[in-house]
A = this chain, B = another copy of it.
Amino acid sequence: MMEIAYYDGQFVNINEKIVAIQDRGHQFGDGIYEVVRIYNGKPFLLDEHLDRLEQSASSIHLALEYTREKLKDLIYEGIKRSGLKEAEVYIQITRGVAPRHHLYPKNTSPMLSMAVKPPRVIPNEKRKHGIKVILQDDERWANCYIKSLNLLPNVMAKQKAFENGADEAILLRKSWITEGSSSNVFAIKHGTLYTPPATKRILNGITRMAIIKIAENLGIPYQEVEITSGFLIHAEEVFITSTSIELLPVVQVDDSVIGDGKPGPISKQLLNAYKNLYDE
């Protein structure tokens, strides 16, 4: 079992230096990515991730030049070579390698890189007792629905959370919640599940969509509506979702304790149902 990477048609050790200096990923962040979770050797919600990869590509006018089948073959080949049963596949496609100019290069093919690694481990304590988050201004660009490589604001927001003893930064446009620095946000009030709608201001998480579908199947009422930080603080339950963390209960927002300060029953019910989707 090993961490493995892929660039320009070759599988390599993840620490190998293999990327061209003039890859537009390296010089402009001019590309898109996905992270896919592998459970028991099988990529979870792979078509949903590849749908979104294609949407991201289209949004930045990048012609993928990879069929769905080819992308799947590569991902399966990466998993096989890694020997990992539990893994995360990181896949990134940039506008290719070309002399540095802002304009899209002509006659250049997109460049795909990939990494297959063991999944991120969330400490049991955080799963069990929930996490603290902080609120921060959303300083990102206008098109956060694109899963692009321009992640500096997300990186800085996450770091600020960490330095304040928190695990995630929940971002605000004025007083409206958008999402976390690498997660979507949900709140439960009077038994109804609330999450901000999938506008251009948020990345419509694959896990987010799965949770909404689960809520529907379980008969939990839900609303995709704009919510304020005040609404969040006074919710009965709050949680965040992403491919890596699945669903993590939030028990504190800045100095405000959520509900009784413990993960709530609906959060647990949704997480269990989510796990059932891959754990059969």
Contact = CB atoms under 8 A, between A and B. Distances in A.
A12 B30 CA distance: 23
Contact of A18 (B21, B30, B103, B113): B21
A140 interface: yes
Interface string A125-148: 000000000000101111100001
A24 B104 CA distance: 22
Contacts of A8: 17
Contacts of A15: 20, 22
A143 B153 CA distance: 9
Nearest to A13: B21
Nearest to A104: B159
A92 B20 contact: no
A199 interface: no
Interface of A: 5, 7-8, 12, 14-30, 33, 60-61, 90, 92, 99-104, 113, 115, 117, 120, 137, 139-143, 148-156, 158-159, 162, 181-182
